[in-house]
């Protein structure tokens, strides 16, 4: 079984590898002819960039803000346009822009339906790596997860890739139930902090975990709500490596406040806080290994995987792959493709790929090789 502590070493190795691919600046000084040097003016520091409007607004104090509004009312060419209604509308517009995860304005309750989340899906790669796309964090998918984790135990699966890129729904209590399947018994998972409440709501694991191997978590901007709290908890307790893109920054509980017109003001009324006191809102969860993938391509992959599985989106059959023998020999078969074959591949249409899942599989493979040697 993988040693989770070894994941840190692999993360550093991968980071060094990625950094090493970028060309380093030359340390040799640039020489110039005497005539050129004589014509060149003395070097001077480049001017500081002008602050943006947002930076200027953020720098204003209360006195500046009040003065700006008073001056606007007194000096604007169309004073009838600066009404209290317009100022209130501008205030609400600004708050919606500045706090996208904490405040939303909905046309009606039906507009709250989320179409991005998907059903539960699982697969096994290379005989020992379990792939779990959790989808909605709801009781139905929790039962599916329990079945698969039991199957993983029977098949001696020692690494799990938990894909939360289609988990954009689910409340914080449901997220805690999913976390209990992976986190040690007796450990505090996270709490829900609500302003004005007498105390925080605490969620603690009250059962033995169903899986105790290596865990890698996949996230992106579609990962929101309880799924963000789950990702942060797995990183804290299981040393899970986070791969992908930053999450939505909405690990909160919302309250829907009806407006007189029937529209809904959705307000973040409580937030998830980790045991170390670190809130998940509004910054979200940042990846340890950032990997870009267009949202439209990801959704195509997820739709097609129901029939094809995820294998076609991470493996190519027409080229050699990085493997243990190549790593030990210090070679990379993926770079040793003949020039003619490489040119042919570049001209052909590129098939759909899931680079986030591929990176996760590479990490698990690298860690396996690292522990063997």
- Interval 345-368: pLDDT, tens: 555 567 899 999 999 999 999 988
The reported pLDDT for the residue numbered 81 is 86
Q: What residues form DSSP beta bridges with 216?
A: 161, 241
Decide if 94 is inside a domain: no
Task: Let me know whether 201 and 147 are in one domain.
Answer: yes
Task: Let me know whether 348 and 219 are in one domain.
Answer: no
Low-confidence ranges of the chain (pLDDT < 50): 5, 7-41, 318-319
Contact 289, 359 (CB under 8 A): yes
Contact 287, 246 (CB under 8 A): yes
Task: Let me know whether 241 and 149 are in one domain.
Answer: yes
The reported pLDDT for the residue numbered 16 is 39
Decide if 152 is inside a domain: yes
Task: Let me know whether 136 and 284 are in one domain.
Answer: yes
The reported pLDDT for the residue numbered 100 is 87
Decide if 249 is inside a domain: yes
Task: Let me know whether 204 and 350 are in one domain.
Answer: no
Using CA atoms of 12, 15, 20, 26 in order, give the dihedral in degrees to the nearest 10: -100
The reported pLDDT for the residue numbered 341 is 56
Task: Let me know whether 258 and 333 are in one domain.
Answer: no
Check which CATH number belongs to the domain holding 149 and give it.
Answer: 3.90.226.10
Give 281-321 pLDDT, tens digit per residue: 999 999 999 999 999 999 999 999 999 999 999 986 544 55
What gap in Å lies between CA 217 and CA 123, rounded to an integer? 15
What gap in Å lies between CA 154 and CA 148, rounded to an integer? 10
Task: Let me know whether 230 and 285 are in one domain.
Answer: yes
Task: Decide: helix, strand or coil at residue 139.
Answer: helix
Decide if 254 is inside a domain: yes
Decide if 17 is inside a domain: no
The reported pLDDT for the residue numbered 206 is 96
Q: Show which of 256, 290, 324 is a domain's final residue.
A: 290
| 209: containing domain | 121-290
Alpha helices in the chain (DSSP H): 6-20, 34-39, 53-59, 62-75, 84-98, 139-154, 172-180, 226-238, 295-308, 324-329, 339-347, 355-372
Number of domains in the chain: 2
What gap in Å lies between CA 360 and CA 162, rounded to an integer? 10
Q: Show which of 262, 290, 318 is a domain's final residue.
A: 290
Task: Let me know whether 265 and 352 are in one domain.
Answer: no
Decide if 215 is inside a domain: yes
Task: Decide: helix, strand or coil at residue 260.
Answer: coil
The reported pLDDT for the residue numbered 207 is 96
pTM comes to 0.77
Task: Let me know whether 129 and 264 are in one domain.
Answer: yes
Task: Let me know whether 337 and 214 are in one domain.
Answer: no
- Angle (CA) 117-232-195 rounded to 5° is 90
Task: Let me know whether 328 and 181 are in one domain.
Answer: no
Task: Let me know whether 286 and 354 are in one domain.
Answer: no
Q: Show which of 264, 290, 316 is a domain's final residue.
A: 290
- The radius of gyration of the chain's CA atoms, rounded to the nearest angstrom, is 26
């Amino acid at each position: 079984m993988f040693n989770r502590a070894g994941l840190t070493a692999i993360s550093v190795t991968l980071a060094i590898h990625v950094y090493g691919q970028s060309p380093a600046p030359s340390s040799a000084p640039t020489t110039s002819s005497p005539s050129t040097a004589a014509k060149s003016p003395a070097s001077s520091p480049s001017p500081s960039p002008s602050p943006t409007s947002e930076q200027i607004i953020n720098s204003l104090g209360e006195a500046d803000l009040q003065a700006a509004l008073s001056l606007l009312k007194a000096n604007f060419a169309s004073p009838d346009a600066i009404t209290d209604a317009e100022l209130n509308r501008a205030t609400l517009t600004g708050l919606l822009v500045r706090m996208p995860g904490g405040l939303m304005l909905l046309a009606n309750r039906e507009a709250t339906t989320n179409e991005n989340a998907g059903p539960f899906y699982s697969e096994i790669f290379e005989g020992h790596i379990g792939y779990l796309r959790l989808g909605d964090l709801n009781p139905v998918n929790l039962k599916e997860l329990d079945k698969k984790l039991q199957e993983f135990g029977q098949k001696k699966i020692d690494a799990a890739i938990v894909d939360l890129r289609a988990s954009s729904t689910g409340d914080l209590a449901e997220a805690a139930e999913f976390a209990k399947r992976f986190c040690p018994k007796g450990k505090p998972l996270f709490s829900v902090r609500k302003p004005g409440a007498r105390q925080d709501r605490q969620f603690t694991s009250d059962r033995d975990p169903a899986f105790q191997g290596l865990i890698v978590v996949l996230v992106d901007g579609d990962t929101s709500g309880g799924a963000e709290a789950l990702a942060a908890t797995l990183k804290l307790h299981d040393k899970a490596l986070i791969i992908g893109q930053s999450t939505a920054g909405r690990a909160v509980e919302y309250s829907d406040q009806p407006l007189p017109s029937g529209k809904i003001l959705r307000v973040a009324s409580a937030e998830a806080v980790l045991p170390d006191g670190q809130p998940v809102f509004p910054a979200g969860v940042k990846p340890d290994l950032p990997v870009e993938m267009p949202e439209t391509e990801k959704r195509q992959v997820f739709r097609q995987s129901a029939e094809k599985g995820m294998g076609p989106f991470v493996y190519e059959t027409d080229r050699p792959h990085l493997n243990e023998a190549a790593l030990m020999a210090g070679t990379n078969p993926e770079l040793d493709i003949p020039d003619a074959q490489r040119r042919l591949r570049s001209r052909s249409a590129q098939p759909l790929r899931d680079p986030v899942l591929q990176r996760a599989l590479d990490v698990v493979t690298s860690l396996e090789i690292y522990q063997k040697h």
